[in-house]
Chain A
C-alpha cells in the first residue's frame, strides 16, 4: 500500500545537520520525480539551537503543510518543547528516536504516536567521518521508498568537491540508516512518482520573487537586510549583476527606498525587499513615490509582529499597513502572491504594473512562502515587463507637462537624458506642469488622476486565482491559499462542490470581478493568518460579500493547515 503524501520533520540542534538532510531529501525526491515542500522552523538564535526541517513529499504538487507529521526523526531533542506545537502528531505518526538521546519528550509522546528506535549516533560513529544526518536521511528514504539513484545524484552534487572520502562516508551512513529501516514496514511508502510532464524547478518563494523582479525588467535594487526578506536581496545581488543590473547595500530602509526612487526617476526599474518594520520606515518615501508618480516595487515578506514580533515565523498581519499605512490620500498598488511559485508571477506583475501606472507597488509575501522551498512545475512565462509610457515630441512649442491630466490618468514620463523634458518631480502637491501648488483645484485634480490611473486599469484575470464552483466559497489570499485550496479539493472529492477565490490584487479593489466570482454563493469562508481578521475587515469594507460570511483567522506562527480549513467548511455545510 502506498500513500499520497508524507510529511516528515527532521529535528536536531545546530550542527546535527537536520537542515542539510531535509534539503537533500527534498532534492532527492525531486530527482526521482516527486513534488515537495520544505519549510524550516528555528528559534531566534543566529546559529545553532533548536531547529527542524519540515518536509512534505507527494507525487502531485504540494500546496501547503501536511495536516500532521507522519514521521519525526530526531537527532537530539534539544529544546523541542519550544516548537512542539509546530509538530502536530497523531497515533498514526511515527517517532524515530535515538535511544542514546533519552526518552521521547512527553509533549510529543502524549500524541500516542508509534515509537521506533534507531541508534543513529552509534551507527554514525562506526563509520569514519560518519554523520548522524546521513543515517537519518537513509532511514527516511527507506521508509518512504525513495529510490537510491535520486539520493546518489544529490550526494554527488553536494559533496563532489569534498572528495571520495566524504562521499563514501555519506553513502555508508545512508546505507546504515536505510538497512535498519528497511524492515519496519510502517505503511508510509509514497506512491510512485509521475515523471511525465513539464520541467520542474526547485525554488524558494524569496528566490522566485527575485526572479520575478528580473523577468519584469528590474535593473536596480537597494538592499537592507531583514529577516525573512534577506534572501530576495541575496539572490538578486549576483543575478542582477549577471544581467547588467546593480544592487547596492544601503545604510537603512529609508535609504533603500529613497535610492530606488532615485534610480526609478532616472528611468531604471527598481525594487527593494523588506519586512514589516522596514516597510514602516519606508512609508514616507512610498508616499513620495505616489505623489511624484515614480514607480517602485517593495516586497514585504511578512512575519509575526508588531515591532520585531517573531522574525522567523510567518503571519499575514502587515495587510493593514500595506493598504492603509501611507499618509494622506495615497492610492497605490498592493498585490499578494498565492504560492511559492506565484512569488515569481506576482512580483513580475508588480514590476509591470508599477511601471505602467507610475506608482509604488507593494508585494505582500510572507515567511511561510519566502523561506520555504518547493518542487514545482516550471512556471509558464508571463508577458509582464516594465514598460513605462515615455513622453515624445518634447522639442515642440508646448512646454512639457509631467503631470498632465490625461484620460487614463497616466502621464507620459520624461526621464533625464531626454531634451525638452526637464522638470522637477515633486512630492509637494503640484500643478500639471510639476510646479508646486497648494491650490485646492490642483490637489483635487492630481488626486483624481492618481486614483483614476489605478481604478481604470484593466488588470485582466490575474486579479485572483479562481477554482471550482458551488454555493460555498473560500475567499483568501497569500500563503493561506495553499491550505485553502487543499481543503476545497477535499470537500469536492467527498462530493461537495466549493469555490476558491484567492485574491492576488489586494488594492485597488475589484468589486465587480469579485461579485462575478461569487455569483450564486450562499456561504463565504474567509481564511487568513492574522489575529485581528484584517483581511476579513478589508473585504467587508470594500465588497458586498454574498450570503453568510464566516472567518477562519488565526495569528502566526502556527501555519494554517488544510485539515483546519476543511473542518471549518464542514461545520458550515
Chain B
C-alpha cells in the first residue's frame, strides 16, 4: 500500500515516523540512511504508530527508537531480541521491529540471536553491521576481519574468524533472511517491508559503514553487488548460495515457510476453579 507515492492519496509519509530528536551519529554514518529506509518502510506499510513497537539494545544503531515516533524500548546491551520477544508474545497484534548492531546482536546478544532464529516469533530484526564497536570508539566486533589491526584493544588484529550473520541466521532457522546496504534506503525499505510482511522471524542484515573508525568502508559502494537469485523457501538452497557469495551480495536469500511461534489461547478456567485443586 504505497499510499505516499501518489500525490492524490493522503497517507503517512516517512517524516511522520521520525521524531524531532537529532541523531548523535557521526557525519557520514550509514545509520542515517538506514533510519531513512526504516521510516520509508513504515510509511509504505502505513503502520499505525501506536500499534508499532521498536526495540533496541545498546550501540550507535540502537539509538534509533528515540529517532522514531512509534512506541520504543531502548534496553540494554544484547537483550533487545529477548525484550522484543516478550512484547510480541504478550501482544501478538503489535508490529515489532528490532534495531541493533553487530556487537549487540552477535556478541553479547549471540545466544538470544540463536534462539530468536529458532523460536521464530513474528518480528523483524534489522541489524546494522559496520564490523566495529563504534560507540566505544573502535574495537573489533564479532564480524570484524581477523587481521584488522586498528584497535588499541587488539593491536595485532582480533585473530579469530568473523561471524557471517546471514549464514548464522540460516543455520539457526530464521524464516526470512536478507541483506541490504545503507547507501540505498529505497532497497533497505523494500527489504524491511518484505521482512515485516513475512510471517515469522525476519533477519535483515544491513551493511552500514562506520566512516569514523572504518573509513575504508566507504569502498563498500563498489564492493556490494546484487545477490542475483530469486528468494527461495528452502533453507538448504539458501545456505548453499550464501556460502558461495562473498558476503556483499544484496537481496533476499530465504523466505521460508516455518510456522511462527505464538503460544496461548483463551481462558478456560477461573482462578477459583484452579484454587479448588488445593482443597483437602
Contacts and interface: CB of A to CB of B under 8 A. Distances in A.
A422 B111 contact: no
A222 B81 CA distance: 14
Contacts of A254: 78-79, 82, 111-112
B83 interface: yes
Interface stretch (A60-68, A266-274, A551-559): A266-274
Interface stretch (B33-41, B136-144, B268-276): B268-276
B264 A211 contact: no
A284 interface: yes
B50 A419 contact: yes
Interface string A213-255: 0110001101000000000000000010111111110111011
B83 A259 contact: yes
B74 interface: yes
B255 interface: no
A511 B54 CA distance: 42
B10 interface: no
Contacts of A285: 75-76, 79
Contacts of B52: 416
Interface string B64-83: 01101111111110110011
A420 B82 contact: no
Interface string A279-310: 00000110110001000000000000000000
B29 interface: no
Given A251-B111, A266-B53, A435 B86 contact: no
Categorize the interface residue count of chain B: 35 or more
Contact of B269 (A242, A265, A427): A242
Contacts of B2: none
B219 interface: no
A483 to B, nearest CB: 24
A265 B73 contact: yes
Interface in A513-554: none
Nearest to B72: A424
B280 A262 contact: no
Contacts of A421: 50, 71
B21 interface: yes
B86 A245 contact: no
Contacts of B221: none
A442 to B, nearest CB: 14
B84 A262 contact: yes
B86 A220 contact: yes
B66 A268 contact: no
Interface in A155-206: 199-203
A203 B51 contact: no
A519 to B, nearest CB: 38
Contacts of B87: 262-263, 265-266, 416
Contacts of A343: none
A37 B279 CA distance: 15
Contact of A246 (B48, B263, B269): B263
A268 B78 CA distance: 23
Interface in B207-237: none
Interface string B93-130: 11000000000000000011011000000000000000
Contact of B74 (A30, A203, A219, A428): A428
Contacts of B54: 424
B280 A202 contact: yes
B65 A424 contact: yes
A241 B55 CA distance: 26
A258 interface: yes
A214 B274 contact: yes
Contacts of A420: 50
B90 interface: yes
A222 B86 contact: yes
B266 interface: yes
A342 interface: no
A258 B86 contact: yes
Contacts, number: 189
B278 A259 contact: no
Contact of B55 (A211, A245, A262, A268): A262
B239 interface: no
B91 interface: yes
A412 interface: no
Contacts of A422: 49-50, 69-72
A219 B82 CA distance: 17
A252 B68 CA distance: 30
A14 interface: no
A242 B268 contact: yes
Contacts of A265: 53, 73, 83, 86-87
B175 interface: no
A199 B263 CA distance: 35
Interface string A359-396: 00000000000000001001000000000000000000
B85 interface: yes
B265 interface: yes
Contacts of B82: 250-251, 254-255, 258-259, 262
B189 to A, nearest CB: 20
Given A201-B280, A262-B55, A424-B72, A246 B89 contact: yes
A3 B267 CA distance: 47
A417 B78 CA distance: 26
Contacts of A416: 50-53, 71, 87, 91, 94
Contacts of A479: none
A378 B279 contact: yes
B265 A262 contact: no
Contact of A262 (B48, B78, B85, B271): B85
B76 A201 contact: no
A211 B111 contact: no
A258 B83 contact: yes
Interface string A403-432: 000000000000111111111111110000
Which 6 A-B residue pairings sit nearest by Cβ, starting from the closest? A262-B86, A424-B72, A244-B267, A258-B82, A263-B90, A259-B86
Given A265-B53, A425-B74, 19 more contacts: A202-B279, A242-B267, A245-B264, A246-B90, A248-B263, A251-B82, A254-B82, A255-B82, A255-B85, A255-B112, A258-B79, A263-B91, A266-B87, A266-B91, A270-B86, A292-B73, A417-B50, A422-B69, A425-B72
7 contacts: A243-B267, A261-B86, A266-B87, A267-B91, A284-B76, A417-B50, A425-B72
